[in-house]
Structure 1
Amino acid sequence: MSEQKVAIFVDTENLLPWIQSGGPERLLKEISSLGQAIVRRAYGKWTNQHLTPYQGELNRLGFELIHNYHPVSGKNSSDIQMTVDIMEYAWRVKEICWFVLATGDSDFSPLFRRLRELGKEVVGVGPHSALSESVKSSCSRFIYTEITKLKDKASLQSAFDDAADLVESVLRTFDGPANCANLKEKIINIDSAFNEKSLGYSSFTTFLKAIDTIKITYNTEKTAYFASFAFDESPKVQSSKEKSPKAKSPKAKSPNLIDIPTADTEERFSIEEIYRRILRQIDWRISPKQNLITIFKIIKSLPLLSRSEIVDKVIEQVEGSITATDIRKVLSLFYKGKLFDISIRESDQAKLWKLKDVEEEELFDAIDEAMLSRLLSGCREQGINVDVDAITSLLMGNYQSTSIQEKIQQIFEKVEQDNETDLEH
């Protein structure tokens, strides 16, 4: 089968920092699996002193340099020229399957959608921004220009939780074990910017192995890895009212299937990671502390608004530094911490939210109490020991050691009382 053809178009002036950091070469490596890049065009005003030093490098990489003269100072005319050229190639060179468009600040969603209508696959390339969050939904894939390195635990765990949720959701659409290549393809169809390397994993299968609900098997006959749930279905924290299901006899396994060896759960995960796993199972999403502070300061002065209106207001002010998904995640934490006053708008019966008049430390304290209540309940249900030091690492607020122990003890006693009340009824 002949290799698929790829066309690449780069707006250099809107992506100057990316150009300077070797972005085009990284892009070529990233998309090399798509097929043969038969068109490589880079647009810009090449007399620009900031672009001139990179002409040789782009030429070495095989890019045709398209000069755009700007009759009006400060106006970038590359956008229009690129759009015209892209549509010309789409109509004239029918064998091009993939169009890769690297730009910075323009909304090319209509162009992307038109290319998709023509049966073309589209890769968008750009920085993290409010614009990219809307544009990427029109792409087959989306590649961020920033080299993302999630260093703090909260950011990394938050991103991992989102990715694990997506994997589980997509895996449920398969009738049985899923070929890992097909699984990833479906995931990218939903989240075009998905990339396991940004989470610190060298490969997709390595990432899947880190999800405790997923089991990886190698099929020697098909020479491929397959993913399935490690249990009959994705495990949830079981209510104390529910009866434990009867154990089922293990099914006979095909001789062509080889389980990828992993250690027992207790060995694979530290106690802190086990706590994080429990929180993910009960739909508690950890969020970076700085995100909470930023959003808290923005919405503190907002009037009664619907949840979607609050999200829009925050998006306007954070300028792409926090995604809409992460904003909703923070609002969910505020809600679970009972930090919103809720009322109903008479005209359309919409639920309106208003942040209570609290200080920053009160905010963290409320969220921590809500988290502890859920975590300790989950630990009790699953027979997991309580480790004060490990739990402390999950808290948002700053507490004295004795006050943490007292807080945990009080909440644990309440969990026990609630459980006894449930049993009585």
Structure 2
Amino acid sequence: MVLNRKSHLHELAEPLRLSDHAVFDLRNFSQRRTSRQYGLLAETIGQHIAQMRTPSCKVFIKSFLCYNHKIMQQLNENDIQIALLIDADNAQYKNIGALINRVSTYGRIIIKRAYGNWTKSALKKWDSVFNKYAIKPIHQIDYTTKKNATDIALIIDAMDFLYTSSCNCFAIVSGDSDFTPLALKIRETGSQVIGAGLPGTSKSFVNACDIFVNLNEIDDDGESEQVKKLTEKEKYLVTLFKTAAESWQDDEGYTELGNVGNYIKRVNPDFNIKDYGVSKFSAFLEKYKNVFDTREVKTKGGGSTIQYRMLI
């Protein structure tokens, strides 16, 4: 991801530890920001080092590599604006909800579109997910039997969004190798590409993506005994906790509870934890001790934070 003058650098109050890939030291960054203070930052990936001196701040950026999952997680959530583009001919409607949950861990999805010829009987069941997940269906008739008009429509929209929207990350759901040039082009502009598909997805497309999600791995129809006892509403929230844990857990399997609240708000802006009979997320974890293992960890400032681990 390319940094620019509009980046809200003051919000990054602590250094980001990125496995020696990048070091941000912005603790002395002044709250009195001016355009001159932003200066010239590193705008290319790799070995560039930028040093900026002004009366009120000093910023160093070393070896910034953005093609890294961990960096995507640690950047401000508002910096990642995602367009989710679904090739319905090469995807399954059953796991779209789980996919949206997973993609939302990387940033905010601002565009959701599914492409297909909706008169086809094979795509009839997609109707059930459009309203449920706020996906805009794009109908594309087949002009000939030799060319896939759906693929072309998706590619045209992707290129349009690349240059006219605020999207800097594209999630392309398909297994078709025809999308490989698109993924490569998007990455050439400095934007991110998240691919998603079923087993058997073209290797060229997988390799062209920064991150690839196997749809079968996030679509788990089997339920543990603990989950079977929950209501549908409770299962939904547990699923969100589980998806967040898969993306943010540490080496011991624990996840910071603070990460989950922001993530759930991205997935469901109308979410209210009080609808579950508790006043805060930590109370929900305590309520279902057979599903979550929690611990309290002391922080450097003398406070504490709650971490959880899935038991299912």
- TM-score for both structures, normalised by structure 2: 0.46
Rg comparison, structure with higher value: 1
Higher relative helix content: 1
- TM-score for both structures, normalised by structure 1: 0.34
